Amino acid sequence: MSAVYDCSKHESRADGLAAAASAVRSSRLVVLPTDTVYGIGADAFDGGAVQSLLRAKNRGPDMPVGVLVGSWSTVDGLVLGTPPQARALIEAFWPGDLSIILPHAPSLQWDLGQSRGTVMLRMPLHPVALELLRDVGPMAVSSANVSGRPPATTAQEAVDQLGDSVAVYLDGGSSGEPVPSTMVDLTGDDPVILREGAVSRAAVAEVLGVPAESLA
């Protein structure tokens, strides 16, 4: 049976965060508010939980799951190296609506799907998400919807789509317009924007000191 916690109230927020942390540590799924849309999340290092996440979304491993972190410093333990371009983007846009893709550390024992040795990382600008991430560590998180249906912008929309496949729903109110994060691939010789979202191409280009057209 799923539980929904209203995070606009101090007591229920504290109870919800505790329940969500317990669920993540028990290989179960949680739905959490972020600064883009609601996300469905699991322990990034628990392969069984990540598989449950993919099943809940009716999604295959061909679309790997990204990872949310609660601090800048967490990144260094997850990737093969943090190049200057990545550090510049992190300092400029985190926490916020920018996802970066880097080669992950080969020592990590995780299965996020067919990621070809890479990982997409983001630090969300949402107090509830950050508090949970700082408690449980990196989480594999995808949009809280069944594949092919609109992403959830409220906890109730997530409940309607995902039901009892999720143990805990953290209700942080409406996330507003469902604008996705901007995705920047830093795995090659030159940075590439794979998806332009909340952060503009021009803003990314300015931070990296490159022409905007070179990011295509």
Number of domains composing the chain: 1
Q: Is 148 a member of any domain?
A: yes
In this structure, are residues 160 and 184 in contact, taking their beta carbons and an 8 Å threshold? no
Residue 216: the pLDDT is 86
In this structure, are residues 173 and 145 in contact, taking their beta carbons and an 8 Å threshold? no
Amino acid at 214: S
Q: How is residue 199 written in tokens?
A: 């952060």
Q: Is 57 a member of any domain?
A: yes
The single-letter DSSP state of residue 36 is S
Residue 60: the pLDDT is 87
CATH of the domain at 136: 3.90.870.10
Question: What does the DSSP assignment read for 133-194?
Answer: HHHH--EEEEESS-TTSPPPSSHHHHHHHHGGG-SEEEE-----S-PPPEEEE-SSSS-EEE
pTM of the model: 0.96
Residue 62: the pLDDT is 84
In this structure, are residues 46 and 185 in contact, taking their beta carbons and an 8 Å threshold? no
In this structure, are residues 210 and 56 in contact, taking their beta carbons and an 8 Å threshold? no
Residue 32: the pLDDT is 98
* Closest by CA position to 29, among listed 7, 46, 12, 8: 46
Q: Is 190 a member of any domain?
A: no
Residue 158 is part of which domain span? 3-86+110-177
Q: Is 130 a member of any domain?
A: yes
Per-residue pLDDT of the chain (216 residues; tens, 9 = 90+): 899 999 999 999 999 999 999 999 999 999 999 999 999 999 999 999 999 999 999 998 888 999 999 999 999 999 988 999 999 999 999 999 999 999 999 888 889 988 889 999 999 999 999 999 999 999 999 999 999 999 999 999 999 999 999 999 999 999 988 889 999 999 999 999 999 999 999 999 999 999 999 998
Q: Is 193 a member of any domain?
A: no
